[in-house]
A and B are shown apart, each in its own frame.
Chain A
Amino acid sequence: MAEKKKRKVPNLNASSMADISFLLLIFFLVTSSMDTDSGLSRRLPPPPQSEEQLQKMDVQRRNLMVVLVNYQDQIMVRTQAGDEWYNNIAEMEGKGGKVRLKDMVKEFVLNPNNRPDLPELIEEDFGPPIGKVPVTADHVISLQNDATTSYKAYIAVQNELVRAYNELRDEAARKYFGKAYNELLPEQQEQINKTYPQRISEAEPKDYKLGGGR
Chain B
Amino acid sequence: MGKFTKAGGREMPELNTSSLPDMIFAILFFFMVTVSMRTETLMVRHTLPTASEVQKLERKSLVTYINIGIPLDPRLGTGTRMQLNDKLAEISDIQEYIAQERERLSEADRQFMTVSIKADENTKMKYISDVKQALRKAYALKISYSARKGEN
Interface residues of A (CB under 8 A from B): 14-15, 17-18, 20-22, 24-25, 28-29, 31-34, 36-47, 69, 89, 93, 145-152, 154-156, 158-159, 162-163, 166, 202, 205
A residues in contact with B116, CB < 8 Å: 37, 39
Stretch at the interface among B70-78, B100-108, B137-145: B137-145
Q: Is the CB of A25 within 8 A of B145?
A: no
Task: Determine if B24 and A37 form an interchain contact, defined as CB atoms under 8 angstroms apart.
Answer: no
Asked if residues A40 and B128 are in contact (CB atoms below 8 Å), the reply is no
- Most A-side CB within 10 Å, residue of B17, B129, B137: B129
Main secondary structure on B side of the interface with A: mixed
Residues on B with beta carbons closer than 8 Å to the beta carbon of A202: 132
Does residue B28 face the partner (Cβ distance < 8 Å to A)? Answer: yes
Whether A32 touches B35, Cβ cut-off 8 Å, given contacts A151-B128, A159-B51, A159-B52, is: yes
Q: Which residue of B lies closest to A150 (CB)?
A: B122
- Quick one: given A32-B36, A163-B52, are A148 and B124 in contact (CB under 8 Å)? yes
Chain A's nearest CB lies how many Å from the CB of B4?
37
The 3 closest A-B pairs by CB, nearest first: A32-B35, A152-B121, A17-B21
**Are A39 and B144 in contact, with the CB atoms below 8 A?**
yes
Q: Does B11 contact A (CB under 8 A)?
A: no
B interface list, Cβ under 8 A from A: 17-18, 20-21, 24-25, 27-28, 31-32, 34-38, 49, 51-57, 60, 63, 65, 114, 116-126, 128-130, 132-133, 135-137, 139-149, 152
When the two chains form their complex, are residues B139 and A151 in contact, meaning their CB atoms are under 8 A apart? no
Please, which residues of chain B bring their CB within 8 A of the CB of A20? 21
- Contacts A150-B125, A162-B53 aside, 10 further interface pairs with beta carbons under 8 A come to A18-B21, A21-B24, A29-B31, A36-B56, A38-B57, A44-B141, A47-B136, A148-B126, A155-B147, A205-B130
Given contacts A21-B24, A21-B25, A151-B119, contact A38 B54 (CB under 8 A): yes
Known: A40-B55, A46-B136. A151 touches B24 (CB 8 A): no
Q: How far is the CA of A94 from the CA of B31 in the complex (A)?
A: 43
A36 cross-chain contacts in B, Cβ below 8 A = 56-57, 60
Q: How far is the CA of A146 from the CA of B65 in the complex (A)?
A: 25
Tell me which residues across on chain A come within 8 A of B123, comparing CB atoms.
150-151
Nearest residue (CB) in B for A159 is: B51
A-B residue pairs in contact (CB < 8 Å), sample of 10: A25-B27, A36-B57, A38-B148, A38-B149, A39-B145, A43-B142, A147-B124, A152-B49, A154-B125, A159-B51
